Every structure is written in C-alpha cells, then in structure tokens.
Structure 1
Amino acid sequence: MSQRQTALLVTEIGQHLSKATRPIPEPKDGEVLVKITVAGLNPHDAKSRDDGLSIKGSLPAVLASDITGHVVRVGPNVTHFKQGDHIFGQALLAITRPPGYTDAELATLPTNLVTAAVALFDSTGLNIPSPLDTTALKFNYEEASILIVGGGSNTGRFAIQLAAITGIGKIIVVASLNGEADLKALGATHVIDRTNPGTHIAADVKSIVGDDSIYALDTINAPEDQYIGVEALSNTKTGKFARLRPRGPVDESKLSAKKPLGFETLNILGASNVRTATSVPLWERVSGLVAEGKIKPTSFKVIKGLDLDKANMTLDGYSNGALSGQWQVHI
C-alpha cells in the first residue's frame, strides 16, 4: 500500500479547495483505516470551506463526512470491525453495510439522517421523546404534530421518515406539491404548498391542528424566512423552533403578531460524535430500519474521481444557493 494518498483539502478558510498528497494515517486505539469508495458532499461542507465550520484550527482539512468503503487496517482494541468489512457512516462513527443497497445509496444517509434525528429527539433539538427512550412510554405520539418546512430536502425527507417511525399523528410538510405523493409515501400526513405566503401556510397548519402546534423544524430557510415556521406555532403555548441555518435571529418583524408566550429557537448540529445520546442508539438500529424499508435513501448526483474543479463548483453552488441535495465523489 502506498504510504501517501491524494486528497482535496481546505488549506485556507474562505478559499477554494486544493489538491495535494498527504500521509496515509495509521489507525490508533479504537480506530480503523477505511478505503473510501463514496464520499458525500452536503451544504455544511461549503460552510466549513467558507467559514471554518468545525475545521478551524485543524487545517489542512478534508471535507465530506458521509462515507462508504472497506476496512483495510484495524487499530488496537477494535472489536466491531475486521479487515475487509464493508461499512458506511459519518466519518467518526460507522456501521457494517446492510445488504440490498449500493454504496452510493447508503452514503446519502449519515449526516442528513443524524441531523434529522438530532432535530427531533435530542435535548438540544425539539426533544420529542425518542422511541428508544423509556420516557417515550409516557408520550402520546398519536396526538402530537410536527411541522417540517423544507420537507423535500434530504434532511426533511429523513425527518418525515423518523417522525412516521415514531408514530407522530400529524406530520405536516411544507414543500412543492409536485412531490406530494412521494412525501406522503414517506409518512407525511399533510403537504402544504411552499409557494404560499408565510401567513397562509400558518393558517393552513392551524386548520389542521388548531392552536396546538409546538414543534416546528426548518431545514432550508435563512433567518429572514424562518418566520414561516414560527408563525405556525401556537399562540397559547410556548413552541419550539429548530433550524439548520442559524446565522442571525429569526426575523420576527415578519410575524403577523408577536407570540404571547414566546418560542424557543434551537440550532441543530448533526454530528454523531457530538450528539452521542441521540446518534449512538440511532446507529444501533439503522441497518435494521434500512433493511426493513423504514428508512429509505435519498437522491444524489455524482462527481467522478477527485475532480478539483467540480468539487469547488459544487461547494460554490451550495454557498450561493444554486445547488442543493447531496453530491457524491465516487472514487
């Protein structure tokens, strides 16, 4: 095996990736070395390149934490994996690959699925009792509702599936009506046209659940448009608003009226190694949920090989809003 490898690296925050060689690391205690076959790029990777999200102080850095590949070397005290195992996961936490799906399909899961789970179940998110937690026995899922703004996004689609697995009674999604049948097949109970004005969306939500909406997740909007989810929250209860884009406060000037009891804004970090209370139980069940068809991979687009220009163009597209979804580097 060569002692060096080619990689696309962030060497300076705010600048394009560069291509260089770097040493192949030796796995340490509890680590495995994986030869990557697919690496998934997501919008947060553009934030890492442009703003230093999660990588400040650790340059040069490699992006793309959604991976599939083969274990080629095992470090000391590793018991779950052996050389040759086919795995997928989120960089620092992986599991054996379940049958029936391609590497590319499985690489759509890690970050977006974990982010959705953190948004719904983690104490830093909406804190809906996870069905894996004993406290869930005391929670009336059937009477609960959740609003997912951006239900057609990859994270939104996984949030729908997790909410459906959990048994939440009303899963209300704001998305394009072109995908309504698909979103309902994933578990959405209601789909509201995303082109409606924010106040109309809120009125539609209230026509479904009355003034009882206390859980809202926005997977796509910047702060200036996050009022849409907040507008739909209850006026007689304190609601929780989870968001994936936390730059600045929600623009409350766009609300039709102030929320009398206020609302809690929750910034979501979908990192398995940071949100272990939620991610570890999830990863223990992912293979089974995928095999049972309860968690379905999402769509993706392909970059063949370590194409520096295409990788930078993809990250630029995330940054300026021209691109969405997952782009994968196939090696």
Structure 2
Amino acid sequence: MTVTTTSPVFVTARYGGPEHQELAERPVPEPRPGEVLIEVRAAGVNPADVKRREGAFGNSAPMPMPMGLEASGVVVALGEGVTALAVGEEVLGAPARGQGAFASHTVLRAAEAVRKPQEISFVDAATLPVAGTTAYDLTHQVEIEAGQSLLVLGAGGGVGRMVLQIAAVHGFAAVGVASAAKRELIEETGAAFVAAGPGAAEAVRDLLPDGADLLVDLVGGEPLRALAPLVKDPAHLVSAADAATATELGGAGRERSEGVLEKIVGVVEAGLVDPHVLETYPLARAAEAIARVEQGHLGGKIVIVP
C-alpha cells in the first residue's frame, strides 16, 4: 500500500493579484488536538478568497498562503481528543487557520465541522460554510415576520439567491436588486426584480411605497447609500459587504450566529434552499475558478473539485 506523504495545495506566494497564485505541494497536514484531517472532495470559491489574497483582511499571514475558505470531504485522521467524529465520516466546514480549502487534504476544527447528510452532495455542501451561513445570518439577524418586506441589494449572486430562497421559506415579500441579466434567477425565487443602477431606488419605492422592513446588503458603497433611505428602521439594515457604511447609516454588519452551519445544512437537506452551483473546476484549474468569481456577475456558485 502506498502511503501519501505530500498533497497539492493552491496558494498565493504573496499578497496582491492573481499572478502570485500557484499550485504547490506540501506535506499532508497533521491534525492538532481538536482537529480532523479530511480528504477534500469539494471546495467553494468566494469573493472573500480574492479579498484575502489582496490583503483586505490583513497582511501578516505566513507565505505562501493556502487559499480557500470552505470545504467538504471525508475524515481520514483524528487529532488528539476528538471523539465526536470518526474516520470515514463525511463532513463540511471551514479550514483551520493557515490550512486552506483548495487542496487534496485539509484540516478542520472538529467542534465546528458538521456531518454531511447523504441528501446533500459534496459539491453543494462545499458552498455552505461561507455562502450558506452568510445567507442564513443575514435573514435572521433582524427578525421580521411573514408578509413583511425584504429588500436585497446584490441579489443576483450565490449568497443573494440563497437569501431570496430563505425569504420565500419564511413568506417574506422580497425584492431583489441586481443586474438586468439576473432577472430570471431572481424571479424564479418568487421575488420581485429591480434593475441595479440609476433609477433603482425609485423602482423600489414603486414596489414598496411604505419602505422595506429589512434591507440586506451584498454590495456596499454608493449603491447601499442610495437604497438605505428606503428601509423603515435604519437598525434593520444588515450588510455582509460593507459593515462600516452600514454602521454609519444606522445598521450593522453581518454577525455570525452560534450553530449557523448546522442550521443551513438542515435547510438545504430539507430541499428548501438550492446552492445553485454553476460550474466545477479541478484543482489544477483553480486559478480559472477564482478568476470566474473575481470577474463577478455570477448567478450562482463556483466549486473546485480536487
């Protein structure tokens, strides 16, 4: 039997642009106490991967820095003290610090990993630790009731689409603001569509003359400032894209809730939310997968399958 001692991992050699990215080899990681080693079956690609590579979240990580923030796979080794999971179990979660998801093997924190139900594919599961949990938190951080209105800025992306699907489950009257190309995707969820850009605020006012009960922001900046006056209560503005502007306007950034990954897994398992994976790429083409996300204007998720 051949024992694998090294495995491929996609890294950035320094902070900056995509020219610093490369596929490298590293020793198969060893799980520390409280961690599990998994054989990665799928890894979701997110705009946050690009921001992290560019140094938007800090620039002190050791280089080369493994990339990727969410993964699903099979447990192949247990760190000291891990008793809740077993070798051979299928799980999903966020990689431990410094590990990265774009790899053949990675390490998860056992306490934060969630078992993958058989009803959810590895590919769909890999979209939930980042995008799925974000969508869930954004629709639950401020509680509104069935029949009340939800306005989503940037509704055409992977997170936005899941937000609208969760809104449909709760019976919210949802309005999605996105590029014209996303009209069909948004209307498929039961939400009303408004084209982004000049005139968006006026179009939203026509649909919601009394204002929105909750504004979920996935864009930030000036588009957020233009729509912020439309929310009835400024405290009911929640942003996953621009916490600083949201706070300035009286709202807040996204707050991660306890047990959120397990909650969104349950929602997807029940068939109430579809992550809508558009394309998958092998690990050798990880740069292409990241470029697709970096270009923007996607209506769903991109996933790397090692």
For normalisation by structure 2, the TM-score amounts to: 0.80
8 Å contact kept, 1:10–1:59: yes
Matches within 5 A, 1:60-209: 60-91=64-95, 92=109, 93-121=112-140, 127-129=141-143, 141-142=145-146, 144-165=148-169, 167=170, 169-175=172-178, 176-184=182-190, 188=191, 190-194=192-196, 197-207=199-209
2:189 maps to amino acid: L
- Residue-by-residue CA offset, 1:307-328 (whole Å, 9 max, x unaligned): 3xxx334434544546674322
Paired position in structure 2 for 1:264: 250
2:162 maps to amino acid: F
Provide the secondary structure at the position in 1 that maps to 2:250: strand
Percent same amino acid among aligned pairs?
A: 22
Structure 2 unmatched ranges of 5 or more: 96-108
Paired position in structure 2 for 1:299: 277
Paired position in structure 1 for 2:227: 229
- Pick from 239, 242, 246: which aligns with 1:246? 242
- Relative distance call for 1:322 and 1:215 in structure 2 (3 A) is closer
8 Å contact kept, 1:27–1:74: yes
1:146 maps to amino acid: L
8 Å contact kept, 1:108–1:300: no
**Residues of 1 paired with 2:197 and 2:237: CA distance?**
21
> Cα distance, 1:37 vs. partner?
1.3
Paired position in structure 1 for 2:38: 34
CA RMSD, 1 decimal: 2.8
**Residues of 2 paired with 1:164 and 1:31: CA distance?**
37
Structure 1 unmatched ranges of 5 or more: 122-126, 130-139, 251-261, 270-274
> Cα distance, 1:97 vs. partner?
1.4
**Residues of 1 paired with 2:199 and 2:27: CA distance?**
53
Paired position in structure 1 for 2:52: 48
- Relative distance call for 1:159 and 1:82 in structure 2 (3 A) is same
**Residues of 2 paired with 1:298 and 1:73: CA distance?**
31
**Residues of 1 paired with 2:243 and 2:85: CA distance?**
39
- Relative distance call for 1:243 and 1:295 in structure 2 (3 A) is same
- Relative distance call for 1:215 and 1:58 in structure 2 (3 A) is farther
- Residue-by-residue CA offset, 1:105-160 (whole Å, 9 max, x unaligned): 22222211111223233xxxxx324xxxxxxxxxx613532211222211112212
**Residues of 2 paired with 1:279 and 1:306: CA distance?**
35
- Residue-by-residue CA offset, 1:167-208 (whole Å, 9 max, x unaligned): 354222224332344111xxx3x333446612323312433x
8 Å contact kept, 1:151–1:183: no
**Residues of 2 paired with 1:55 and 1:114: CA distance?**
25
Paired position in structure 2 for 1:283: 261
**Residues of 1 paired with 2:70 and 2:274: CA distance?**
16
**Residues of 1 paired with 2:5 and 2:174: CA distance?**
50
Provide the secondary structure at the position in 2 that maps to 1:25: coil
Provide the secondary structure at the position in 2 that maps to 1:70: strand
Corresponding pairs, count: 283
- Residue-by-residue CA offset, 1:197-235 (whole Å, 9 max, x unaligned): 12323312433xx14x2421122x35132234314223x
> Cα distance, 1:49 vs. partner?
0.9
